[in-house]
Amino acid sequence: MKYMLLIIGLFDDPTAEPPTAEAFQEYQKALHDAGVVVDGNPLGDIETATTVRVREGRRLVTDGPYAETREFVGGYHVIDVPDLDTALDWAARNPGSRFGRVEVRPIVDMA
């Protein structure tokens, strides 16, 4: 079954030490070695985000992410594993889980 792991980080936490690029690369390698990768990418910095809304037929385009919260989506992985516990294990191993959180969602098979 395919799951998406959404790696969610936190803004403005002065005490936090965000995970390093090396940590993420090691994780990516582990996923590949295990043969579970379907897809995955970090996302561009939050400053590169643009939000689109359409209300009453008008398109509104603004700078920045979609919500005024402390959280932002930093990246994603799509993995193919037998069950939720396996997906949760991989989520726990993601360096982002120690800093922010990882959301695990089953991917709906639209076929």
Tell me which residues touch other proteins (CB under 8 A).
1, 82-85, 88, 104, 106, 108
* Residue whose entry in the numeric block shows the structure tokens 């959404």: 6
Q: Which is nearer to other proteins, 31 or 81 (CB)?
A: 81
| 3 vs 72 by CB, closer to other proteins | 3
Host H or E run for residue 53: strand 50-55
Shortest CB 17 distance to other proteins, Å: 26
The residues with which 37 forms a beta bridge, in sequence order, are 79
CA distance 43 to 46: 8
Q: How far apart are CA 14 and CA 24, in angstroms?
A: 21
- Supply the minimum distance, in Å, between the C-beta of residue 55 and other proteins: 32
Joined tokens for residue 18 = 């965000």
The nearer residue to other proteins, 32 or 105, going by C-beta atoms, is 105
Which is nearer to other proteins, 10 or 88 (by Cβ)?
88
DSSP letters spanning 83-111: SHHHHHHHHHHSTHHHHSEEEEEEPP---
> Could you tell me the smallest distance in angstroms from the CB atom of residue 106 to other proteins?
5
